[in-house]
Structure formats: structure tokens, C-alpha cells
Amino acid sequence: MLDTTSDDHSPQSGAGRVVRLRLLGPLARLAGRRETTCAVAEGATVRDLLLALAARHGPEFAAALLRAPGELHTHVRVFVDGADAEPNDLVGGGPTPAPEVTVLVMPIFEGGSR
């Protein structure tokens, strides 16, 4: 469903759209980059995309992203084209899917009390 093997900006044959991923905080450090792209097929979910990223960037990245296999940490938020997204949401789905989608993946930090 996903082609994450290259940073190609055009969809592979059969892929529905290009996803431009932006990683913030420790996720960017662990991935070795702040931005990357991949092609996704129609029907790909946010979870599919995150699992592919975890496999692509190794166990340390996966541990920062997932608390259990396929289960996103509660302190990680994902935004698809600026809208808050849940793991089962389609990547760039909707009535008129765009050929390119921007996904922001970021850890959320909260302040403490005194």
C-alpha cells in the first residue's frame, strides 16, 4: 500500500497520491531528517503510514512513535493537511482527494505544575 523506499515526489504506478511528511522534535532526530516523501495507495490510513515509517527508520524511531505494535503513543499527534487525524483516518481521503498531502507528525509536550 505504501512506497517509502525513496524520497521521490511523484506517485509510483498504482499509487493514489504523494505524502509529504514533516517530522518534529525527537522524531526528526531519530529519522535523520525533518522532511521526507512517500507514495501511498488509495485507502491508506494514517496507521498504515506510521507503521511504514516505523519500519523504515528502525526500532528506536518505532519506540518513540508506537507504544505497542500498531498503537500510537498518546503523546504523538498527527495532522493531515492541517487537520487533527486519528490512526484509522484515510491519508488525504475525502470527496476530492488531492494528489499531494502534507502530514505533520509531532510529539506533544505538556508543562508541569509547581
Residue 13 clears pLDDT 80, i.e. is over it: no
Integer angstrom CA distances of residue 1 from 15, 22, 41, 91, 110:
8, 20, 5, 12, 35
Q: What integer is the mean pLDDT of 80-102?
A: 83
Model-level pTM? 0.79
Task: Place 9 in a pLDDT band, splitting at 50, 70 and 90.
Answer: very low
pLDDT of 34 above 60: yes
**What domains appear along the chain, each with residue ranges and CATH number?**
2-107 (3.10.20.30)
**CA 67 to centroid of chain Cα atoms:** 15
| Distance of alpha carbon 80 from the chain centroid | 9
Count of positions (residues) in the chain: 114
- Examine the pLDDT at 39 and tell me if it is beyond 90: no
- The residues that bridge with 78 in the sheet, in sequence order, are 85, 105
